[in-house]
Protein backbone atom coordinates (compact mmCIF):
# COMPACT_ATOMS: atom_id res chain seq x y z
CA UNK A 1 0.00 0.00 0.00
CA UNK A 2 1.49 3.32 -1.12
CA UNK A 3 1.63 6.23 1.29
CA UNK A 4 2.53 9.90 0.97
CA UNK A 5 5.85 11.44 1.97
CA UNK A 6 6.00 15.25 2.16
CA UNK A 7 9.50 16.75 2.08
CA UNK A 8 10.66 20.35 2.54
CA UNK A 9 14.02 22.06 2.13
CA UNK A 10 14.71 25.63 3.25
CA UNK A 11 17.74 27.85 3.76
CA UNK A 12 16.79 29.76 6.94
CA UNK A 13 19.46 32.52 6.94
CA UNK A 14 20.16 32.16 10.65
CA UNK A 15 23.39 34.12 11.16
CA UNK A 16 23.75 35.45 14.68
CA UNK A 17 24.01 39.28 14.92
CA UNK A 18 23.70 39.56 11.12
CA UNK A 19 20.39 38.08 9.98
CA UNK A 20 17.41 40.38 10.36
CA UNK A 21 14.78 39.28 12.88
CA UNK A 22 16.51 35.91 13.18
CA UNK A 23 14.78 34.61 16.30
CA UNK A 24 11.31 35.76 15.28
CA UNK A 25 11.70 34.32 11.77
CA UNK A 26 12.93 30.95 13.06
CA UNK A 27 9.94 30.82 15.39
CA UNK A 28 7.67 31.57 12.44
CA UNK A 29 9.36 28.81 10.43
CA UNK A 30 8.82 26.36 13.30
CA UNK A 31 5.15 27.36 13.45
CA UNK A 32 4.89 26.85 9.68
CA UNK A 33 6.35 23.35 9.97
CA UNK A 34 3.82 22.41 12.64
CA UNK A 35 0.89 23.74 10.59
CA UNK A 36 1.83 22.06 7.30
CA UNK A 37 2.41 18.50 8.52
CA UNK A 38 5.64 17.58 6.72
CA UNK A 39 7.17 14.13 7.11
CA UNK A 40 10.74 15.21 6.49
CA UNK A 41 12.41 18.62 6.66
CA UNK A 42 15.96 19.66 5.81
CA UNK A 43 17.08 23.10 7.00
CA UNK A 44 20.25 24.98 6.13
CA UNK A 45 21.93 27.95 7.82
CA UNK A 46 20.81 27.06 11.33
CA UNK A 47 24.02 28.55 12.67
CA UNK A 48 22.85 29.04 16.26
CA UNK A 49 22.34 25.80 18.18
CA UNK A 50 19.71 27.42 20.40
CA UNK A 51 17.62 28.05 17.27
CA UNK A 52 17.80 24.33 16.44
CA UNK A 53 16.72 23.51 19.99
CA UNK A 54 13.79 25.93 19.68
CA UNK A 55 12.59 24.44 16.38
CA UNK A 56 13.06 20.95 17.78
CA UNK A 57 10.95 21.81 20.82
CA UNK A 58 8.13 23.44 18.86
CA UNK A 59 7.94 20.54 16.36
CA UNK A 60 8.37 17.74 18.90
CA UNK A 61 4.88 16.35 18.25
CA UNK A 62 4.78 16.68 14.45
CA UNK A 63 8.49 15.97 13.82
CA UNK A 64 9.66 14.12 16.94
CA UNK A 65 13.09 13.13 15.61
CA UNK A 66 15.76 15.74 14.87
CA UNK A 67 19.50 15.89 14.29
CA UNK A 68 21.97 18.80 14.15
CA UNK A 69 25.28 18.29 12.34
CA UNK A 70 28.33 19.61 14.19
CA UNK A 71 31.35 20.58 12.08
CA UNK A 72 33.98 23.29 12.13
CA UNK A 73 33.79 26.00 14.77
CA UNK A 74 30.10 26.87 14.59
CA UNK A 75 28.57 23.80 12.94
CA UNK A 76 27.62 23.25 9.31
CA UNK A 77 24.25 24.93 9.82
CA UNK A 78 22.48 21.72 8.73
CA UNK A 79 19.57 20.07 10.52
CA UNK A 80 17.10 17.30 9.70
CA UNK A 81 13.65 16.89 11.27
CA UNK A 82 11.67 13.71 10.76
CA UNK A 83 8.46 11.88 11.65
CA UNK A 84 10.39 8.64 11.47
CA UNK A 85 13.08 7.39 13.88
CA UNK A 86 16.68 8.27 13.04
CA UNK A 87 18.69 5.05 13.26
CA UNK A 88 22.01 6.31 11.88
CA UNK A 89 23.65 9.64 11.19
CA UNK A 90 26.97 10.98 9.99
CA UNK A 91 28.41 14.11 8.48
CA UNK A 92 31.21 14.56 5.95
CA UNK A 93 32.82 18.02 5.76
CA UNK A 94 34.01 18.95 2.30
CA UNK A 95 37.75 18.93 1.69
CA UNK A 96 37.71 22.45 0.29
CA UNK A 97 35.71 25.12 2.10
CA UNK A 98 36.86 28.55 1.03
CA UNK A 99 39.66 30.70 2.36
CA UNK A 100 40.28 31.46 6.07
CA UNK A 101 41.32 35.01 5.15
CA UNK A 102 37.78 35.67 3.91
CA UNK A 103 36.40 35.98 7.41
CA UNK A 104 33.13 37.63 6.41
CA UNK A 105 32.29 34.71 4.12
CA UNK A 106 32.94 32.29 6.97
CA UNK A 107 32.78 29.05 4.96
CA UNK A 108 36.19 27.81 6.12
CA UNK A 109 35.25 28.31 9.77
CA UNK A 110 31.89 26.51 9.64
CA UNK A 111 33.18 23.69 7.39
CA UNK A 112 30.41 23.23 4.82
CA UNK A 113 29.40 19.59 4.66
CA UNK A 114 26.87 16.96 3.67
CA UNK A 115 24.94 15.45 6.57
CA UNK A 116 23.07 12.15 6.38
CA UNK A 117 20.35 10.53 8.47
CA UNK A 118 18.98 7.03 7.96
CA UNK A 119 15.27 7.00 8.80
CA UNK A 120 13.38 3.85 9.79
CA UNK A 121 10.35 3.86 7.52
CA UNK A 122 7.25 2.02 8.83
CA UNK A 123 6.77 -1.56 7.64
CA UNK A 124 10.44 -1.92 6.72
CA UNK A 125 12.91 -0.07 4.60
CA UNK A 126 15.30 2.81 5.18
CA UNK A 127 15.17 6.34 3.82
CA UNK A 128 18.62 7.84 3.47
CA UNK A 129 18.33 11.63 3.66
CA UNK A 130 21.24 13.85 2.64
CA UNK A 131 21.22 17.55 3.54
CA UNK A 132 23.88 19.88 2.18
CA UNK A 133 24.83 23.51 1.61
CA UNK A 134 27.54 24.22 -0.96
CA UNK A 135 29.80 27.27 -0.93
CA UNK A 136 28.20 30.39 -2.41
CA UNK A 137 29.20 32.71 -5.21
CA UNK A 138 30.06 35.95 -3.43
CA UNK A 139 31.28 37.94 -6.43
CA UNK A 140 30.81 38.05 -10.21
CA UNK A 141 34.27 36.51 -10.60
CA UNK A 142 33.11 33.51 -8.52
CA UNK A 143 36.39 32.99 -6.69
CA UNK A 144 34.83 29.99 -4.97
CA UNK A 145 33.91 28.22 -8.20
CA UNK A 146 36.82 25.76 -7.94
CA UNK A 147 35.83 24.79 -4.41
CA UNK A 148 32.15 24.43 -5.33
CA UNK A 149 33.05 22.10 -8.19
CA UNK A 150 35.18 20.06 -5.79
CA UNK A 151 32.33 19.92 -3.28
CA UNK A 152 29.93 18.84 -6.02
CA UNK A 153 32.27 16.00 -7.00
CA UNK A 154 32.60 14.82 -3.39
CA UNK A 155 28.82 15.02 -2.94
CA UNK A 156 28.23 13.08 -6.16
CA UNK A 157 30.51 10.30 -4.95
CA UNK A 158 28.74 10.15 -1.57
CA UNK A 159 25.36 9.87 -3.28
CA UNK A 160 26.66 7.32 -5.77
CA UNK A 161 27.85 5.13 -2.90
CA UNK A 162 24.50 5.58 -1.13
CA UNK A 163 22.63 4.11 -4.08
CA UNK A 164 24.50 0.83 -3.68
CA UNK A 165 22.81 0.34 -0.30
CA UNK A 166 19.48 -0.25 -1.99
CA UNK A 167 17.57 2.14 0.28
CA UNK A 168 15.32 5.06 -0.58
CA UNK A 169 17.60 8.07 -1.21
CA UNK A 170 16.67 11.77 -0.96
CA UNK A 171 19.28 14.53 -1.34
CA UNK A 172 18.12 18.06 -0.59
CA UNK A 173 19.60 21.43 0.26
CA UNK A 174 21.00 24.70 -1.01
CA UNK A 175 23.35 23.74 -3.84
CA UNK A 176 24.19 27.37 -4.74
CA UNK A 177 24.09 26.27 -8.38
CA UNK A 178 21.61 27.05 -11.15
CA UNK A 179 20.29 24.10 -13.21
CA UNK A 180 22.82 24.35 -16.04
CA UNK A 181 25.75 24.56 -13.61
CA UNK A 182 28.37 21.80 -13.61
CA UNK A 183 27.42 20.69 -10.07
CA UNK A 184 23.78 19.98 -10.96
CA UNK A 185 24.64 18.31 -14.26
CA UNK A 186 27.25 16.17 -12.49
CA UNK A 187 24.83 14.98 -9.80
CA UNK A 188 22.18 14.05 -12.36
CA UNK A 189 24.62 12.39 -14.74
CA UNK A 190 26.93 10.55 -12.35
CA UNK A 191 24.36 9.41 -9.78
CA UNK A 192 21.22 9.18 -11.90
CA UNK A 193 19.21 11.00 -9.21
CA UNK A 194 16.09 12.87 -10.33
CA UNK A 195 15.38 16.55 -9.72
CA UNK A 196 11.87 16.33 -8.25
CA UNK A 197 10.80 19.88 -9.15
CA UNK A 198 12.05 19.52 -12.70
CA UNK A 199 10.33 16.15 -13.10
CA UNK A 200 6.93 17.57 -12.17
CA UNK A 201 7.12 21.06 -13.62
CA UNK A 202 9.41 20.57 -16.57
CA UNK A 203 12.66 22.44 -17.07
CA UNK A 204 12.02 26.02 -16.09
CA UNK A 205 13.70 28.91 -17.87
CA UNK A 206 17.04 29.44 -16.13
CA UNK A 207 17.06 33.17 -16.81
CA UNK A 208 13.39 34.00 -17.49
CA UNK A 209 12.67 37.43 -18.95
CA UNK A 210 10.61 39.93 -17.04
CA UNK A 211 6.91 39.46 -17.78
CA UNK A 212 4.75 42.37 -16.58
CA UNK A 213 1.61 40.21 -16.84
CA UNK A 214 2.90 37.96 -14.05
CA UNK A 215 3.90 38.81 -10.52
CA UNK A 216 7.47 38.08 -9.49
CA UNK A 217 6.21 35.35 -7.15
CA UNK A 218 4.36 33.70 -10.04
CA UNK A 219 7.49 33.82 -12.19
CA UNK A 220 9.49 32.30 -9.32
CA UNK A 221 6.97 29.52 -8.84
CA UNK A 222 6.79 28.76 -12.57
CA UNK A 223 10.59 28.45 -12.83
CA UNK A 224 11.52 27.06 -9.42
CA UNK A 225 13.27 30.27 -8.34
CA UNK A 226 14.22 30.36 -4.67
CA UNK A 227 16.86 33.08 -4.24
CA UNK A 228 17.24 36.82 -4.94
CA UNK A 229 13.51 37.19 -5.61
CA UNK A 230 12.40 40.85 -5.90
CA UNK A 231 9.43 40.27 -3.59
CA UNK A 232 11.60 38.68 -0.90
CA UNK A 233 12.06 41.37 1.73
CA UNK A 234 15.40 39.90 2.90
CA UNK A 235 17.23 39.33 -0.38
CA UNK A 236 15.44 41.06 -3.23
CA UNK A 237 15.11 44.56 -4.60
CA UNK A 238 11.49 45.48 -5.49
CA UNK A 239 12.75 47.46 -8.50
CA UNK A 240 14.91 44.74 -10.00
CA UNK A 241 13.79 43.11 -13.27
CA UNK A 242 15.75 39.92 -12.69
CA UNK A 243 13.25 37.40 -11.21
CA UNK A 244 15.78 35.41 -9.21
CA UNK A 245 17.75 32.17 -9.30
CA UNK A 246 17.03 28.50 -8.70
CA UNK A 247 19.52 27.27 -6.09
CA UNK A 248 17.55 24.87 -3.85
CA UNK A 249 16.75 21.29 -4.87
CA UNK A 250 15.25 18.01 -3.75
CA UNK A 251 16.85 15.13 -5.64
CA UNK A 252 15.75 11.54 -5.17
CA UNK A 253 16.39 8.02 -6.43
CA UNK A 254 13.38 7.31 -8.65
CA UNK A 255 12.38 3.67 -8.28
CA UNK A 256 9.27 1.53 -8.42
CA UNK A 257 8.90 2.21 -4.69
CA UNK A 258 9.46 5.97 -4.74
CA UNK A 259 7.82 8.40 -7.14
CA UNK A 260 7.42 12.18 -6.99
CA UNK A 261 3.80 13.28 -7.43
CA UNK A 262 4.05 17.04 -6.76
CA UNK A 263 6.70 19.71 -6.27
CA UNK A 264 6.50 23.45 -5.80
CA UNK A 265 8.22 26.54 -4.48
CA UNK A 266 6.82 27.40 -1.05
CA UNK A 267 7.14 29.93 1.78
CA UNK A 268 6.78 32.69 -0.78
CA UNK A 269 4.43 34.85 1.28
CA UNK A 270 5.77 37.12 4.04
CA UNK A 271 5.21 36.53 7.74
CA UNK A 272 2.32 38.91 8.40
CA UNK A 273 3.22 39.66 12.00
CA UNK A 274 6.85 40.43 11.12
CA UNK A 275 6.21 42.16 7.78
CA UNK A 276 9.14 40.28 6.28
CA UNK A 277 9.83 37.02 4.45
CA UNK A 278 10.51 33.77 6.29
CA UNK A 279 14.06 33.74 4.94
CA UNK A 280 16.21 35.20 2.17
CA UNK A 281 15.40 31.98 0.25
CA UNK A 282 12.06 30.49 -0.67
CA UNK A 283 11.61 26.81 0.16
CA UNK A 284 10.95 23.79 -2.05
CA UNK A 285 8.35 21.17 -1.14
CA UNK A 286 8.00 17.82 -2.90
CA UNK A 287 5.44 15.10 -2.31
CA UNK A 288 6.29 11.46 -2.97
CA UNK A 289 4.36 8.24 -3.29
CA UNK A 290 6.33 5.68 -1.32
CA UNK A 291 5.94 1.96 -0.77
CA UNK A 292 8.08 -0.01 1.66
CA UNK A 293 10.75 -2.32 0.37
CA UNK A 294 13.03 -4.75 2.17
CA UNK A 295 16.37 -3.38 3.29
CA UNK A 296 18.96 -3.51 0.56
CA UNK A 297 16.49 -4.59 -2.11
CA UNK A 298 17.33 -3.01 -5.44
CA UNK A 299 15.74 -3.73 -8.78
CA UNK A 300 18.09 -4.59 -11.60
CA UNK A 301 17.08 -1.58 -13.69
CA UNK A 302 17.11 1.03 -10.93
CA UNK A 303 19.43 4.04 -11.42
CA UNK A 304 20.13 2.90 -14.97
CA UNK A 305 20.04 6.54 -16.05
CA UNK A 306 23.40 7.14 -14.34
CA UNK A 307 26.02 7.65 -17.02
CA UNK A 308 29.56 8.94 -17.40
CA UNK A 309 29.28 12.13 -19.43
CA UNK A 310 32.65 12.81 -21.03
CA UNK A 311 31.97 16.52 -21.51
CA UNK A 312 30.78 17.09 -17.94
CA UNK A 313 33.71 15.36 -16.36
CA UNK A 314 36.13 16.90 -18.80
CA UNK A 315 34.87 20.27 -17.53
CA UNK A 316 35.26 19.07 -13.94
CA UNK A 317 38.82 17.93 -14.61
CA UNK A 318 39.59 21.33 -16.12
CA UNK A 319 38.14 23.18 -13.14
CA UNK A 320 40.00 21.07 -10.58
CA UNK A 321 43.23 21.48 -12.55
CA UNK A 322 42.70 25.25 -12.72
CA UNK A 323 41.98 25.22 -8.99
CA UNK A 324 45.28 23.48 -8.34
CA UNK A 325 47.10 26.07 -10.47
CA UNK A 326 45.39 28.87 -8.55
CA UNK A 327 46.77 27.41 -5.31
CA UNK A 328 50.30 27.79 -6.63
CA UNK A 329 49.65 31.40 -7.62
CA UNK A 330 48.17 32.20 -4.21
CA UNK A 331 51.08 30.49 -2.50
CA UNK A 332 53.53 32.78 -4.31
CA UNK A 333 51.49 35.80 -3.24
CA UNK A 334 51.45 34.65 0.39
CA UNK A 335 55.24 34.20 0.38
CA UNK A 336 55.71 37.71 -1.04
CA UNK A 337 53.41 39.21 1.58
CA UNK A 338 55.22 37.33 4.34
CA UNK A 339 58.58 38.57 3.08
CA UNK A 340 57.40 42.19 2.77
CA UNK A 341 55.95 42.16 6.27
CA UNK A 342 59.09 40.61 7.70
CA UNK A 343 61.37 43.12 5.95
CA UNK A 344 59.31 46.08 7.20
CA UNK A 345 59.36 44.65 10.71
CA UNK A 346 63.15 44.28 10.62
CA UNK A 347 63.54 47.84 9.29
CA UNK A 348 61.41 49.20 12.12
CA UNK A 349 63.42 47.20 14.63
CA UNK A 350 66.70 48.57 13.27
CA UNK A 351 65.41 52.15 13.20
CA UNK A 352 64.28 51.89 16.83
CA UNK A 353 67.71 50.59 17.88
CA UNK A 354 69.65 53.30 16.04
CA UNK A 355 67.72 56.43 16.93
CA UNK A 356 66.08 57.51 20.16
CA UNK A 357 62.62 58.79 19.23
CA UNK A 358 60.29 60.52 21.69
CA UNK A 359 58.05 58.37 23.84
CA UNK A 360 54.95 58.92 21.67
CA UNK A 361 56.91 57.81 18.59
CA UNK A 362 58.10 54.68 20.40
CA UNK A 363 54.45 53.79 21.08
CA UNK A 364 53.61 54.28 17.39
CA UNK A 365 56.62 52.18 16.35
CA UNK A 366 55.53 49.42 18.76
CA UNK A 367 52.03 49.34 17.28
CA UNK A 368 53.40 49.10 13.74
CA UNK A 369 55.93 46.41 14.72
CA UNK A 370 53.24 44.28 16.35
CA UNK A 371 50.98 44.82 13.33
CA UNK A 372 53.62 43.76 10.81
CA UNK A 373 54.67 40.83 12.99
CA UNK A 374 51.07 39.55 12.99
CA UNK A 375 50.79 40.26 9.27
CA UNK A 376 53.92 38.25 8.49
CA UNK A 377 52.98 35.38 10.79
CA UNK A 378 49.51 35.17 9.25
CA UNK A 379 50.83 34.78 5.72
CA UNK A 380 53.53 32.41 6.98
CA UNK A 381 50.73 30.14 8.21
CA UNK A 382 48.89 30.54 4.91
CA UNK A 383 51.74 29.31 2.72
CA UNK A 384 53.06 26.73 5.18
CA UNK A 385 49.73 25.19 6.21
CA UNK A 386 46.66 26.30 4.28
CA UNK A 387 47.93 26.14 0.72
CA UNK A 388 49.50 22.73 1.37
CA UNK A 389 46.16 21.39 2.58
CA UNK A 390 44.38 22.97 -0.40
CA UNK A 391 47.00 21.60 -2.81
CA UNK A 392 46.65 18.11 -1.36
CA UNK A 393 42.84 18.24 -1.57
CA UNK A 394 42.85 19.22 -5.24
CA UNK A 395 45.41 16.51 -6.05
CA UNK A 396 43.41 13.88 -4.16
CA UNK A 397 40.17 14.81 -5.94
CA UNK A 398 41.91 14.77 -9.33
CA UNK A 399 43.29 11.30 -8.55
CA UNK A 400 39.80 10.12 -7.53
CA UNK A 401 38.38 11.55 -10.74
CA UNK A 402 41.00 9.71 -12.80
CA UNK A 403 40.14 6.42 -11.07
CA UNK A 404 36.45 6.99 -11.85
CA UNK A 405 37.27 7.80 -15.48
CA UNK A 406 39.36 4.66 -15.84
CA UNK A 407 36.56 2.57 -14.35
CA UNK A 408 34.05 4.13 -16.75
CA UNK A 409 36.32 3.27 -19.69
CA UNK A 410 36.54 -0.36 -18.56
CA UNK A 411 32.75 -0.61 -18.35
CA UNK A 412 32.23 1.21 -21.64
CA UNK A 413 35.34 0.63 -23.77
CA UNK A 414 33.79 2.32 -26.79
Residue 216 and residue 206: Cα distance in Å, rounded?
Answer: 15
Residue 241 and residue 243: Cα distance in Å, rounded?
Answer: 6
Q: Is 7 helix (H, G, I), strand (E, B) or coil?
A: strand
* Length in residues, the chain: 414
Q: Is 328 a catalytic residue?
A: no
Residue 373 and residue 48: Cα distance in Å, rounded?
Answer: 34
- Provide the 10 A C-beta neighbour count for residue 258: 23
Q: Is the dihedral of CA 121, 113, 94, 316 positive or negative?
A: positive
Residue 178 and residue 228: Cα distance in Å, rounded?
Answer: 12
- Return the exposure string of 175-184: e unless at least 16 CB atoms fall within 10 Å of the residue's CB, then b: bbbbbebbbb
Torsion angles phi and psi, residue 61, rounded to 5: -90, -35
CA of 335: how far to CAs of 253, 283, 385, in Å? 47, 44, 12
Give Cα 351 to chain centroid, integer Å: 50
Query: Please, are residues 72 and 93 in contact by the beta-carbon 8 Å criterion?
Result: yes
Q: Is 73 helix (H, G, I), strand (E, B) or coil?
A: coil
Pairing of the two strands 194-195 and 248-252 = antiparallel
Residue 194 and residue 203: Cα distance in Å, rounded?
Answer: 12
The one catalytic residue in 147, 281, 328, 407 is: 281
Q: Is 133 helix (H, G, I), strand (E, B) or coil?
A: strand
Residue 127 and residue 12: Cα distance in Å, rounded?
Answer: 24
Residue 120: which H helix or E strand, with range? strand 113-120
Q: Which residues are catalytic?
A: 281
Amino acid sequence: MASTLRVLTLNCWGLKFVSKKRKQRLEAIAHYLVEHDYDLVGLQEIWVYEDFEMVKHKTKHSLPYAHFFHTGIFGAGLAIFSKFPIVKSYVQPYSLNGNPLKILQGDWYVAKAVGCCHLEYPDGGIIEVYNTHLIAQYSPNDDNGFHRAAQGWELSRVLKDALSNGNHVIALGDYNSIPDNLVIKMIESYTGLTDSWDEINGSGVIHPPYDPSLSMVEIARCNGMTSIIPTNTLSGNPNQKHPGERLDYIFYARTANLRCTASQVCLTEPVVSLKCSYSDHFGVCSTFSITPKPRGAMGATEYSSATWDVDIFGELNQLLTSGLESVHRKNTGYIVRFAVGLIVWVILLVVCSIITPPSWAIAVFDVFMVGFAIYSFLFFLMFVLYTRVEDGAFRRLLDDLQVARNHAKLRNPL
